[in-house]
Amino acid sequence: MNDYKNTLNLPNTKFKMRANLVKLEQEILTLWYQNNLYNKIRESKKGKKKFFLHDGPPYANGNIHIGHAVNKILKDIIIKYQSLSGYDAPYLPGWDCHGLPIELQVEKKIGTPTDLASAKIFRKKCRSYALKQIKKQKKDFIRIGVLGDWKNAYITMNFETEANIIRTLNKIIKKKYVYQGIKPVHWCINCKSALAETEVSYSTKESLAMDVAFSAFCMSSVKKIFKLKNSHNLSDIKILIWTTTPWTLVANRAIAVHENYEYVAIKVNQELLIIADLLVKSVTKRLKINKIEIIGKTLGKELNNLIFTNPLTNVNVPIIISKHVTLDLGSGAVHIAPAYGEDDYKISKKHNLEIYDPISLDGNYLLNNLPSLDGLNIFTVDKKINNLLKNKNALYSSDNIQHSYPHCWRHKIPTFFRATKQWFINMNHNQLRQKVIAEIKKISWVPYYGMEQITNLVLNRPDWCISRQRIWGIPISIFVNKDNESIHPKNFELIEKVSKKIKIHGIQAWWDLNKNELLGNEKNVYKQITDTLDVWFDSGSTYDSILRKKWLFLKNNPVDMYLEGSDQYRGWFMSSIVLSTAITGHRPCKTILAHGFVVDSKGRKMSKSAGNIVSPNSIIEKFGADILRLWVASNDYKSDMHISEEIIQRSVDIYRRIRNTIRFLLSNTNDFNPNEDLIAINDMLSIDQWALMKTKKKQKEIIFSYKKYHFYEVIKKIIEFCSTDMGSFYLDIVKDRQYTNFKTSLSRRSCQTTLYYILESIVRWIMPILPFTAHEVWQYIPGNRSKYIFTEEWYNKILEIKCNNRITKIIWNILNNLRAKINKMIEYKRKEKKIHSSLEVKVIIYLDESILNKIIFLKKELHFFFLVSEVVLKNYCDELKNSDIASENKRLKIYIEKSEGQKCLRCWHYTNLIEKDICERCTNNIAGNSEIRNFF
């Protein structure tokens, strides 16, 4: 028996079936950075229209987590897509470097600074720590395949950037948005600092709710108002307040009632309790009082200025009138602690109440007059206060309740309202709030409902508290008068002088400021501010402090895109839009894309306690960065993204399908030279023309999905193309022609031309998502080409293809329906073990005459389409007259028979035209007398 293997055009390529991405990617990365790939891309895009995605700076603290990877990969996909679309799309990565998390890490090592000298050392240690974190994170981001200007990445602690942030602050001050005031702000005992609204989240907290009674200072005054007679035997008269923050009782300075509510005096044993009339039922139920006797009524306004004694501190406090009192909960009387609540503070200003704040920065009482509470933390004293009140017969109920409560975004611990002197950006000055909302509406939001979310946040947010009581941060560089602390008239000019020094020496120049040198005769009016800026100001101002300084093309124009996690609606998105609107009058960007969070396969958040943390580095070390990128792209990022090893394995399977398809294309174009062997479109076989038109259509769909930033649709369309259009259809059909036809025949070159065009298209489709694989593929595609795919654009030749295919869409539908039925019947025969291969089959098809006439011209080549050895077409009416067949609606009958011919040992088709073990067709192909194919 002769071996005809050497006469076949068998596939051959050095492109491996197994990618070994972990090793391969490292080699490719080395090549990219040795050859300055990023700079080469910039050179190739000179003069193109710009697309700029501004990198929201990640915080320079700790290893990158899976959320970091999602964020950076999405950005990189978009930039690579825009580059393919003909834009010059530079990427400037950045880091946020100041603030509390870095301070805490340094405090663990060297403790808290106690003087100016140690504060200077502390800042140096913070800077050193941040640099180490940046170096580590940069390495990880590069490993993911993110191409960017890493050598010139912006970091907010660069001296020049620190100076520019201060200049940005000065612009805001000059426009009179900044003021200093005492207002209640969220305070975190771990941060030991004020927080902005953006740093606060709400979650459920268990609190001890209490009904506490304040005794009347003058019982006769109360009796007179309630018109009480024959009440000589009363031991006490009390007003009842209900609170969920018992720790604030030490700072109580008044009790508020509503002027128009009716209040009653109810007798309980030998005491009178004053509560709101409409709350009698709920209060007595809470106090477990079965029998009540109402012995007097009066309106709230009549109680004004009555004095009652705080049972915890023995401080006498007045009753005041306030409309903020409601009848939703409690007793109708509200205790007022001016330093610890928004409403309390407003009321205290109106009534000139003392703003008493006996709490340290870390939340401990400073109470010399109450030694039993002195030094205790406010969040641990509920039981202690409970017992103290009980001992004084002032506690009437106590019960644990669950309620929504503000928590520090960083530390996940409860915050509390605290009235302190802080610096604020006035959201209502010059109609800033309305202008911000107007600019939000001009931004294109992905997803679209992001606009509503951030609009509601802006509508409801208070003034922005921009000051922090920290050491490692941009100083609030403002010159104020010593006497009244108003902003100095020459502040703008003075700060510009300071900024020049900071540009050279960094923020330490502010703390080392030589007042004599700078202020001259005005030094006596100067006071140095010791607060630092909210880090959201640092990062939010980068549009002004970084981009408008570095990128001249921006001028006052918004950049193209911001892209961050959905938590940044209240964070970076918010601060950026507010600052840009205040400074330039317009939005900082044209589009904002927000992605969801990563959760495990059960939908749980990643946490150490749950043991479900998936590290991006662990995925890369096991599977490769392209697999991680493929998982990111396969998710609809608008909602939470699920991850587990099983889910990652699905991405491995998808990758394998794409790679195997590309490998087939490469292995069958190994002897193809596009400069010499390309076949004109109108000279190509019909099925090749069909494949090119399918590729053209798919490319349009894929580009449209990229344009919408629907990357999961891109993956879906690529898989459909590889699995359905190519794998189970076109590539199966062309194998016979590709392997058995004469090497340089028109029909084979037609197929190779098609495969070449598909290769040029698909390598670009995958490039933004699978850059390492695309780079590898690019090296094997035949023909002269640029060194890197990353300097290329979409393969527009595929979009220019036009052809007059003799096989119309109607005929393709007929053929595909027949093929599906035939394949099903062949599979059934195979399961019965009556045949082993479809090439053993002869197919007889009885068709309606109208259908038969449409496809009869394909008769000689149909067996190549159906992957069988013989196809016989017959007229349904002429050949089948019996009634059972005639009654069929579709007027179609298919018979599968085993072929009667012999098997050709070269092409494996069965035929009667066998000579020396091979068929006549193969004999001619070997000799160079290639068979004529028109269709398949």
Strand partners, 896: 843
Contacts of 813 (CB under 8 A, 6+ apart): none
Q: Is 608 annotated as a binding residue?
A: yes
Closest CA to 417 of 658, 696, 186: 186
- 3-state SS class at 780: coil
Site of tokens 């009653």: 264
CA distances (Å), origin 167, targets 82, 174, 384, 534, 603: 33, 10, 50, 15, 44
Q: Is 97 annotated as a binding residue?
A: no
Q: What is the end-to-end Cα distance of the chain in Å, rounded?
A: 30
C-beta separation of 342 from 417 below 8 A? yes
Site of tokens 């769909």: 701
Q: How far is it, in rounded angstroms, from Cα 585 to Cα 434?
A: 12
Q: How far from chain centre, in Å, is Cα 19? A: 30
* DSSP secondary structure letter of residue 860: G
Q: How far is it, in rounded angstroms, from Cα 200 to Cα 410?
A: 9
Q: Is 109 annotated as a binding residue?
A: no
Cα dihedral sign, 38-41-47-49: negative
CA distances (Å), origin 653, targets 374, 644, 646, 719: 64, 15, 11, 11
Q: Is 135 annotated as a binding residue?
A: no
Q: How far is it, in rounded angstroms, from Cα 723 to Cα 738?
A: 19
Q: How far is it, in rounded angstroms, from Cα 105 to Cα 96?
A: 15
Site of tokens 């400021």: 513
Q: How far is it, in rounded angstroms, from Cα 248 to Cα 250?
A: 5
Contacts of 350 (CB under 8 A, 6+ apart): none
Peptide bond into 113 cis (omega under 30): no
Q: How far is it, in rounded angstroms, from Cα 878 to Cα 852?
A: 12
> Is 676 exposed, middle or buried (CB count within 10 Å of its CB: 0-12, 13-18, 19+)?
exposed
E strands of 525-635, at which residues? 526-527, 532-533, 559-565, 589-595, 598-600
> Is 487 exposed, middle or buried (CB count within 10 Å of its CB: 0-12, 13-18, 19+)?
middle
Closest CA to 537 of 194, 121, 182: 194
| Per-position b or e across 493-522, b if 16+ CB within 10 A of its CB | ebbeebbebbbeebbbbbeebeeeeebeee
Q: How far is it, in rounded angstroms, from Cα 888 to Cα 886?
A: 6
Q: How far from chain centre, in Å, is Cα 346? A: 38
Longest distance between any two alpha carbons in the chain, whole Å: 132
Closest CA to 145 of 26, 45, 236: 26
CB neighbourhood size of 453 (10 A): 15
Q: Is 564 annotated as a binding residue?
A: yes
Closest CA to 80 of 558, 629, 595: 629
Strand partners, 265: 274, 296
* DSSP secondary structure letter of residue 364: B
User: H-helix or E-strand containing 464?
Assistant: strand 464-465
Q: Is 919 annotated as a binding residue?
A: yes
Strand partners, 833: none
Q: How far from chain centre, in Å, is Cα 492? A: 38
* DSSP secondary structure letter of residue 478: -
C-beta separation of 292 from 259 below 8 A? no
Known binding positions for Zn(2+): 904, 907, 919, 922
Known binding positions: 564, 608, 904, 907, 919, 922
Known binding positions for L-isoleucyl-5'-AMP: 564
Known binding positions for ATP: 608
